[in-house]
Structure 1
Amino acid sequence: MTTAATTRTGTGPVPEGDDSPYALSHLDALESEAVHIFREVAGEFERPVILFSGGKDSIVMLHLALKAFAPAPVPFSLLHVDTGHNFPEVLEYRDRTVEKHGLRLHVASVQDYIDRGVLKERPDGTRNPLQTVPLTEAIQQHRFDAVFGGGRRDEEKARAKERVFSLRDEFSQWDPRRQRPELWQLYNGRHAPGEHVRVFPLSNWTELDVWQYIAREGIELPQIYFAHKRQVFRRSGMWLTAGEWGGPKDDETVETRQVRYRTVGDMSCTGAVDSDATTLDAVITEIAASRLTERGATRADDKMSEAAMEDRKREGYF
């Protein structure tokens, strides 16, 4: 007699009540899909690179890459676009991780482009929108043909339009009309000379999935992801960290609060949230109860217009 255990195929989540020893849990299915994507890229492309900032999504992405090729080393280098306004705790974590795993890190510095007069500081002090030129030039300079990013579809509506393999033209620009179908986990990596593919192994993950996976795998994170005392000030409904980027203004008061960060980017546009979550379990409980996405709640650069992220993606941003 045929049983459910012998007829189940694929890597989908376990149906309710399915206790087959061969069935994958939800997190196992997501992990399996991401590992498959990493190995697919290794087989199709010549010079892939992983975007690694020291933020939680890039940390999970690197953890998956390490799993995908163990016991061999990860066959890709790392790339970070450094705005010059990054959180020191995150940069320290980045450098420590690179040294721990013997990885090669390329750093594209926004400050270098400002010093050379290629880019100009924005009046609001934020440098997140200035990352596009350093990113695209680093891709061209090193001839990267596949670039892994930690973007997820649940973060923001423009990112929800992305395929797992997202083709970029010779100017690193994104055209939603050139998106390719990806049926049955078949990915098309074909591209013309000068073009490249952005790859998103975490596309189908949610913020809650990421945190549950971090807890299951025991992955270390920068401490700013957990509740801690920090000097912050209020602007546009968010708690921002004071810094040389231009905050606070004369009418903005700095106060000490217990906060944590749901996402990490440029200090000038990444807000903290009030929180008592000092442990992984507490963070997971907090995320499960939230009704706002992490970017919607804490990223000022996404609030510049209704299409802010999509406009930047069209220009070459991740």
Structure 2
Amino acid sequence: MNARTAPKLLDPAPGPAHDPSPHPAPAPSHLDALEEEAIFILREVTAAFERPALLFSGGKDSLVMLRCAEKAFGRGRLPWPLLMIDTGHNFPEVTAFRDQRAAELGARLIVRSVEDSMRRGSVRLARPDESRNAHQSVTLLEAVEEFRFDALIGGARRDEEKARAKERIFSHRDAFGQWDPKGQRPELWSLLNTRLHPGEHFRVFPISNWTELDVWRYIAREGIDLPSLYYSHARAVVERRGLLVPVTPLTPAREGETVQQRAVRFRTVGDITCTCPVESQAATPEAVIRETLHAELSERGATRMDDRTSDASMEQRKKDGYF
């Protein structure tokens, strides 16, 4: 076939050019990319491990992970149980919300209590009013042994605290449940090493790369329900060491302290004895987003007494098995 015999291409028809996709899909947003990464990690956990569980407190980060899991596997089709380590000093609004959400999802909820560890003698408090928060490590490792979990999916983020910024997404724990920050496995080009020896397990953090602001923007976009403590409400507090300490039977006002009614919200929820609110009028996710944009301290730095007063650093607590 030469130039004389080759068929001529038809000239395009007159008129406006035809666009096969007149409305192209918008480019993925930053939140879309974070969600896609979390879904990939959750599916990778399910494919690589035999007995994973999702650490579920009823807090905002674990609720965000649940929404990603619903998208990864389908509503009501979670492939692993939810695990809660209860200090016995949790806010009742949060534990009630935890139970409600697990029931809505049809998920198996496993609750193990620090008080049970105290009865067994594996946890001993130095004094009756000592925070039980750090002692959750013992109860958690007992649950790992009881159920032979080989992966625990957690909601920790790297922006929360400097020790957590050192974590890999797939964070290896040895046969004693301990973490070695100097011996972590590389995760170059999103290649994840899931190799385990008997008795070892992984802590997996699908939202490692999210920030507090990302979490709230995702909550707003997805319409995720949260415990009421995350929004502004009136609460009795005292000022102590630069924090607003909630006045409760577990954390009473001390001699010389003035009890005040303030409009506050919690940026993070945990053990009552070490979790403090911040002054706030934010009653919606959008209002919280505006406040978060101007926050100068991380949520743990601004609200956790144990991070300020504990003799053990977060890194040491994580080495010992803490979340």
TM-score scaled to structure 1, two decimals?
A: 0.90
Question: Per-residue displacement from partner, 1:222-241 (whole Å, max 9, x unpaired)?
Answer: 01100000112222221122
Corresponding pairs, count: 300
Aligned pairs for 1:215-254 within 5 A: 215-254=220-259
Contact 1:47 1:146 in 2 (8 A): yes
Question: Per-residue displacement from partner, 1:10-31 (whole Å, max 9, x unpaired)?
Answer: xxxxxxxxx9736321000000
Question: Per-residue displacement from partner, 1:111-148 (whole Å, max 9, x unpaired)?
Answer: 22223333233445311111110001101110000100
Aligned pairs for 1:204-215 within 5 A: 204-215=209-220
Partner of 1:45: 49
The residue type equivalent to 2:153 in the other structure is F
Partner of 1:128: 133
The answer to whether residue 79 in structure 2 is matched with residue 64 in structure 1 is: no
1:138 aligned counterpart, secondary structure = helix
The residue type equivalent to 1:155 in the other structure is E
Q: Which has the larger radius of gyration?
A: 2
1:268 aligned counterpart, secondary structure = helix
Gaps of 5+ in 1: 1-18
The answer to whether residue 193 in structure 2 is matched with residue 188 in structure 1 is: yes
The residue type equivalent to 1:198 in the other structure is R
Partner of 1:103: 107
Partner of 1:144: 149
* Equivalent of 1:299 in 278, 282, 304: 304
Partner of 1:117: 121
The answer to whether residue 91 in structure 2 is matched with residue 87 in structure 1 is: yes
| Residues in 1 aligned to 2:151 and 2:135: alpha-carbon distance in whole angstroms | 22
Contact 1:125 1:245 in 2 (8 A): no
Q: Which moved more, 1:304-313 or 1:149-158?
A: 304-313
The answer to whether residue 154 in structure 2 is matched with residue 153 in structure 1 is: no
Distance change (3 Å), C-alpha of 1:38 and 1:21: same
The residue type equivalent to 2:179 in the other structure is W
Contact 1:238 1:271 in 2 (8 A): yes
* Equivalent of 2:281 in 273, 276, 285: 276
Distance change (3 Å), C-alpha of 1:119 and 1:181: same
Gaps of 5+ in 2: 1-22
Contact 2:76 2:105 in 1 (8 A): no
Partner of 1:3: none
Detail structure 1 runs of 4+ shifted over 4 Å in the superposition: none
The residue type equivalent to 2:246 in the other structure is T
| Residues in 2 aligned to 1:20 and 1:136: alpha-carbon distance in whole angstroms | 50
By how many angstroms is 1:249 displaced? 2.3
* Equivalent of 1:35 in 35, 39, 51: 39
Aligned pairs for 1:307-318 within 5 A: 308-318=313-323
| Residues in 2 aligned to 1:184 and 1:23: alpha-carbon distance in whole angstroms | 22
Partner of 2:208: 203
Contact 2:39 2:68 in 1 (8 A): yes
Question: Per-residue displacement from partner, 1:37-61 (whole Å, max 9, x unpaired)?
Answer: 0001111000000000011001111
Distance change (3 Å), C-alpha of 1:64 and 1:311: same
Question: Per-residue displacement from partner, 1:148-205 (whole Å, max 9, x unpaired)?
Answer: 0000000000000000000000110000122111122111111100000000001000
The residue type equivalent to 1:234 in the other structure is E
Partner of 1:165: 170
Distance change (3 Å), C-alpha of 1:272 and 1:122: farther
Contact 1:65 1:74 in 2 (8 A): yes
By how many angstroms is 1:71 displaced? 5.1
| Residues in 2 aligned to 1:58 and 1:71: alpha-carbon distance in whole angstroms | 16
Contact 2:239 2:257 in 1 (8 A): yes
Contact 1:167 1:178 in 2 (8 A): no
Distance change (3 Å), C-alpha of 1:71 and 1:211: closer
1:239 aligned counterpart, secondary structure = strand
Q: Percent identity?
A: 57
Partner of 2:29: 25
